[in-house]
């Protein structure tokens, strides 16, 4: 999954021959999972048609303040477009448009939208060699970078004039890659590794039966997604589950038993910055599992159980630089038990949820939690989707990292 997945991207197209590449650019953004809207200067429509871009983006294309074919002259709101965007890319950015952007000369819909945008703005220059080298162009670029706009450098190659040199717009694949890397590098968890456990564990009784629980793994997978969206490399150790991930930043390590999870977690723990143990690990396992299916002969079956290794406590014992987060699912004396677990297992944060709260716990799409830090400061949250709970948890973790 690209870091651009779910982002609202506004693509501004100006009147350069490189505009023909924007059809491919739109397709690549769509493939990355982004939402795309296109704004064109009137002259750019001589190089690529609005119909092509509208079809590919699945959105109307804007080039003027009113729709030319609309008898009622409905106003296209450039302010709303600018506020809608998570990022604004102007490609190709001609010398003419760069100059207008730098001086605030708002003489078309694209420029008005640019001046209204509150999001990061990227621009990909495209022009002939001498125009690219001209001092006025250099001044425009310097001014835009001083405003905080980000240039995607032009490349060297054959130009429309027949000359060979700098001024060729970066290729669509390179533009998307540049933006992905720039966004990623600006995220608060970029360069950090987060270890997460999720799902249940299955403890074998015999080759076909096991002791398990009702955990779906959804909470842990949502936490993994939230961490990846903040730029972290994620190691997700998961018990049996139907949940899936789609981010390239998440490595899933499937396990079955508590011992499998213990081994996988300890293999990676020394190299991570944050460990979040949200899995519902079995507390007990059959002491002598059968290697053959147990036949149904008697009216009762007695199993001798033994404790599994306490993964969370074992990490607390060897904690060094890691921020360690645990979960507590309680049915009584919730707060007392959670704080006891927080201290006993040397945690930095513990996430408490109660099976007494409607909509919380295993299997569902929602959860209701309280997050407690090592100073026993308690933050209570309302019932939310598990995705929102994951985002709340990541915000608390960022506070701890920045403290």
Before 104, cis peptide (omega within 30)?
no
Burial zone of 289 (CB within 10 Å; 0-12 exposed, 13-18 middle, 19+ buried): middle
> Please, which contacts does 74-77 make with residues 24 or more away whose CB atoms are closer than 8 Å?
76/109
| Active site (catalytic) residues | 213
Please name which of 196, 179, 186 lies closest in space to residue 394, comparing C-alpha atoms. 196
The residue assigned the tokens 């001044």 is 139
pLDDT score of 361: 64
The tokens describing 240, both together, are 């049996």
Instruction: Place 403 in a pLDDT band, splitting at 50, 70 and 90.
Output: low
Q: What is residue 11's DSSP assignment?
A: E
pLDDT at 352 over 80: yes
What pLDDT digit, counting tens, does each position of 197-230 carry?
A: 999 999 999 999 999 998 999 999 999 999 999 9
Dist CA 227 CA 396 (whole Å): 12
Dist CA 228 CA 3 (whole Å): 8
pLDDT score of 187: 94
The tokens describing 69, both together, are 């074919």
Say if residues 23 and 49 touch (Cβ distance below 8 Å).
no
* Cross-strand partners of 87: 9
Say if residues 252 and 238 touch (Cβ distance below 8 Å).
yes
pLDDT at 331 over 80: no
**DSSP-based three-state secondary structure for 78:** helix
pLDDT score of 74: 64
Neighbouring CB atoms inside 10 A of 337's CB total 16
pLDDT score of 156: 86
Please name which of 113, 295, 139 lies closest in space to residue 209, comparing C-alpha atoms. 295
- CB hemisphere CA count around 313 (13 angstroms): 8
Instruction: Place 1 in a pLDDT band, splitting at 50, 70 and 90.
Output: low
> Please, which contacts does 380-383 make with residues 24 or more away whose CB atoms are closer than 8 Å?
383/357, 383/358, 383/359
Neighbouring CB atoms inside 10 A of 42's CB total 13
Q: 293: which residues sit within 8 A by CB, 6+ positions away?
A: 206, 207, 208, 209
* Cross-strand partners of 254: 238
Say if residues 378 and 230 touch (Cβ distance below 8 Å).
no
* Cross-strand partners of 255: none
pLDDT score of 159: 77
Q: What's the mean pLDDT when you consider all of the chain?
A: 92
Question: Which of 72 and 125 is assigned the larger pLDDT?
Answer: 125
What pLDDT digit, counting tens, does each position of 43-65 carry?
A: 999 999 999 999 999 999 999 88
Say if residues 226 and 393 touch (Cβ distance below 8 Å).
yes
pLDDT at 277 over 60: yes
pLDDT score of 381: 93
Q: What is residue 309's DSSP assignment?
A: P
pLDDT at 386 over 70: yes
pLDDT at 246 over 70: yes
Q: How far is CA 227 from CA 3, 149, 213, 238, 362, in A?
A: 11, 27, 26, 16, 21
The tokens describing 199, both together, are 């799902």
Domain with CATH 3.40.50.1950 in the chain: 8-185
Domain covering 193-287+304-402, topology: Rossmann fold (3.40.50)
pLDDT at 172 over 70: yes
pLDDT score of 65: 80
Q: What is the pTM of this model?
A: 0.83
* Cross-strand partners of 370: 352, 380
**DSSP-based three-state secondary structure for 227:** helix
Domain with CATH 3.40.50.10300 in the chain: 193-287+304-402
Instruction: Place 73 in a pLDDT band, splitting at 50, 70 and 90.
Output: low
pLDDT score of 208: 93
Please name which of 18, 12, 20, 17 lies closest in space to residue 39, comparing C-alpha atoms. 12
**Sign of the torsion angle spanned by Cα atoms 155, 160, 164, 167:** negative
Domain covering 8-185, topology: Rossmann fold (3.40.50)
């Amino acid at each position: 999954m690209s870091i651009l997945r779910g982002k609202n991207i506004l693509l501004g197209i100006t009147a350069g021959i490189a505009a023909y590449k924007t059809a491919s650019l739109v397709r690549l953004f769509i493939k990355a999972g982004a939402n795309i809207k296109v704004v064109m200067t009137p002259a750019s429509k001589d190089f690529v048609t609005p119909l092509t871009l509208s079809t590919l983006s699945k959105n109307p294309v804007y080039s003027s303040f009113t729709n030319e074919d609309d008898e009622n002259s409905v106003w296209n709101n450039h302010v709303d477009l600018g506020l809608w965007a998570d990022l604004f890319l102007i490609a190709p950015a001609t010398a003419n448009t760069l100059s207008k952007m730098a001086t605030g000369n708002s003489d078309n819909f694209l420029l008005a939208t640019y001046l209204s945008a509150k999001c990061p703005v990227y621009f990909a220059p495209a022009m002939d060699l001498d125009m690219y080298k001209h001092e006025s162009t250099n001044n425009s670029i310097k001014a835009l970078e001083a405003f905080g706009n980000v240039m995607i450098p032009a490349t060297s190659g054959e130009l429309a004039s027949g000359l060979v040199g700098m001024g060729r717009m970066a290729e669509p694949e390179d533009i998307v890659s540049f933006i992905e890397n720039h966004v990623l590098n600006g995220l608060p968890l970029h360069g950090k590794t987060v270890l997460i456990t999720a799902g249940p564990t299955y403890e074998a009784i015999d080759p076909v039966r096991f002791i398990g629980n009702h955990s779906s793994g959804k909470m842990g997978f949502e936490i993994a997604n939230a961490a990846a969206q903040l730029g972290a490399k994620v190691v997700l150790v998961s018990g049996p589950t139907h949940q899936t991930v789609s981010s390239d930043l998440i490595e899933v390590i499937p396990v079955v038993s508590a011992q499998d999870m213990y081994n996988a977690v300890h293999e990676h723990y020394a190299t991570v910055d944050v460990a979040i143990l949200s899995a519902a690990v079995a507390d007990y396992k059959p002491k002598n599992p059968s290697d053959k299916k147990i036949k149904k002969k008697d009216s009762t079956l007695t199993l001798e159980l033994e404790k599994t290794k306490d993964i969370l406590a074992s990490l607390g014992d060897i904690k060094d630089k890691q921020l360690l987060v645990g979960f507590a699912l309680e049915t009584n004396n919730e707060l007392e038990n959670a704080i006891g677990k927080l201290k006993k297992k040397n945690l930095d944060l513990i996430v408490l949820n109660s099976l007494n709260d409607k909509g919380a716990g295993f299997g569902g799409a929602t959860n209701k939690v309280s997050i407690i830090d090592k100073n026993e400061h308690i933050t209570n949250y309302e019932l939310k989707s598990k995705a929102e709970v994951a985002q709340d948890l990541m915000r608390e973790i960022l506070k701890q990292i920045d403290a």
